[in-house]
């Protein structure tokens, strides 16, 4: 009888020991796959952003800026060329900066850098692009040779100015809402702390 009971106790102790060692072991089989998913899961195409007002406006801005840039690049001869060069620089800069921001927002890359105020960054870009597109289109409208490419560039320049203006208006509203919610959060936390401390003082009169 003793020979049959001792192996059972030994097996029970071994199984308990293996369970304890397995639970306390830092090398869990699911550690690496979970870590991989957390790193690669943030980079994805955000279709909701592309369907939103900001995503649609950004895509329209890139397309109109590209069309204006192509129109201005078809001009072979100009004198003076100041207006042409100015419009060319503004349209090329808008394509690059707005295209990069569109890529960042559509792939959720902005969540990887939370320390940057992306709402303010988008606002500065749209406001700056609105001003410089309007100025360059106005200069090109005043200084041109009435060629088809220059007239088309002026038309698309004023069109993209209007789109950037709408985007700027919406970006200002979003930025103000963000600042308002950030300002309201500390206030609410402060009021909750005051209420909790007052309740504690009423519950414990000896602290007064």
Asked if residue 24 lies in contact with residue 16, where contact means CB atoms within 8 angstroms, the answer is no
Asked if residue 126 lies in contact with residue 90, where contact means CB atoms within 8 angstroms, the answer is no
| pLDDT digits 0-9 by tens, 148-192 | 899 999 999 999 999 999 999 999 998 888 776 654 444 455 455
pLDDT at position 180, please? 65
Rg (CA), the chain: 31
Q: In sequence order, which ranges of 107-144 are alpha helices (DSSP H)?
A: 118-142
**Is a pLDDT exceeding 60 seen at residue 76?**
yes
The mean pLDDT of the chain is 77
From residue 100, how far is each of 39, 59, 95, 103, 110 by CA, in Å? 21, 11, 8, 5, 11
Report the C-alpha gap between 157 and 137 in whole angstroms: 5
The 3-state DSSP class for residue 114 equals coil
Pick the range with the lowest mean pLDDT from 35-44, 64-73, 126-135. 35-44
| pLDDT digits 0-9 by tens, 91-123 | 999 999 999 999 999 998 888 888 888 889 999
pLDDT at position 137, please? 95
pTM: 0.65
């Amino acid at each position: 009888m003793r020979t049959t009971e001792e192996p059972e106790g030994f097996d029970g102790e071994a199984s308990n020991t293996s369970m304890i060692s397995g639970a306390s072991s830092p090398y869990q089989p699911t550690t690496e796959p979970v870590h991989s998913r957390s790193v690669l899961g943030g980079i994805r195409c955000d279709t909701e952003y592309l369907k939103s007002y900001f995503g649609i406006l950004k895509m329209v801005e890139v397309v109109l800026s590209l069309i204006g840039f192509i129109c201005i690049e078809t001009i072979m001869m100009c004198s003076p060329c100041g207006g042409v060069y100015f419009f060319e620089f503004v349209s090329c800069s808008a394509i690059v900066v707005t295209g990069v921001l569109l890529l960042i927002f559509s792939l959720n890359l902005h969540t990887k850098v939370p320390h940057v105020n992306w709402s303010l960054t988008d606002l500065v870009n749209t406001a700056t692009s609105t001003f410089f597109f309007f100025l360059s289109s106005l200069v090109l409208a005043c200084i041109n040779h009435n060629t088809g490419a220059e007239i088309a560039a002026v038309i698309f320049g004023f069109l993209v100015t209007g789109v950037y203006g709408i985007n700027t208006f919406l970006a200002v509203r979003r930025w103000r809402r963000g600042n308002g919610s950030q300002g309201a959060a500390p206030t609410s936390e402060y009021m909750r702390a005051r209420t909790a401390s007052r309740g504690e003082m009423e519950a414990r009169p000896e602290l007064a």
